[in-house]
Amino acid sequence: MSPISELVLASHNRGKLHELQALLDGQVNVWPVSHFSPVEPEETGLSFVENALLKARHAARVSGRPALADDSGLVVDALDGAPGICSARYADGQGDAANNAKLLAALQDVPEARRTARFVCVLALVHHAEDPLPILCEGLWEGRILREPRGDNGFGYDPLFWVPESQCSSAELPAAGKNRLSHRARAMALLRARLGL
């Protein structure tokens, strides 16, 4: 397997792109997939793994370069795993504030002990669009869902995600702190080890 010197990041989400670039720590030249195509593939998979692979293969196809995709989301135990793979589209594509409001409404009567949740990240790296041996790495970040938003950092569900080891919400962590603890950081640490970075 040849060493990877550049990657296309298969995301149009600015927050996710910024985090992935920071986690790669300048070890690899990265391009956003939007540099090659404005089209996002339809996420038709039934799991984080399937959707990460769909996005990675699409980015490799449109760019002709190795591609890295992240499929991630929030899994809430009391909601049978929702919003899960639909985390970004939970409130019908109306954005982070609407997603957070819908989640709070769904958990309105759920007691503290049952508000457990985790962020999930699956990274999929393909050397080319038809790569028969993609690299898959998973990261989990355990926490629980707050009753109201806290903090101004991050994106997505960060203001509602309580981080027990830090005694604050994910949105109250500085970027460097989140990049040490998060689901994405855990998956990226595994990927960097696989790639020898």
Q: Which amino acid is at 6?
A: E
φ/ψ of residue 64, rounded to 5: 70, 20
Does the active-site annotation cover 158? no
Catalytic residue among 71, 80, 92, 109: 71
Q: If we measure between CA atoms, which residue out of 69, 35, 37 comes closest to residue 51?
A: 69
Identify the helix (H) or strand (E) that includes residue 56: helix 48-63
DSSP state of 83: B
Beta pairing class for 116-126 and 67-76:
antiparallel
CA distance 130 to 143: 37
φ/ψ of residue 72, rounded to 5: -145, 165
What are 63's two structure tokens? 């760019």
| C-alpha to C-alpha distances, 143 to 16, 47, 74, 95, 112, nearest whole angstrom | 20, 21, 10, 22, 11
Beta pairing class for 29-32 and 6-9:
parallel
Q: Which bin fits 128, alpha (ψ -120 to 50), beta or left (φ > 0)? A: beta
Q: Which residues are catalytic?
A: 71
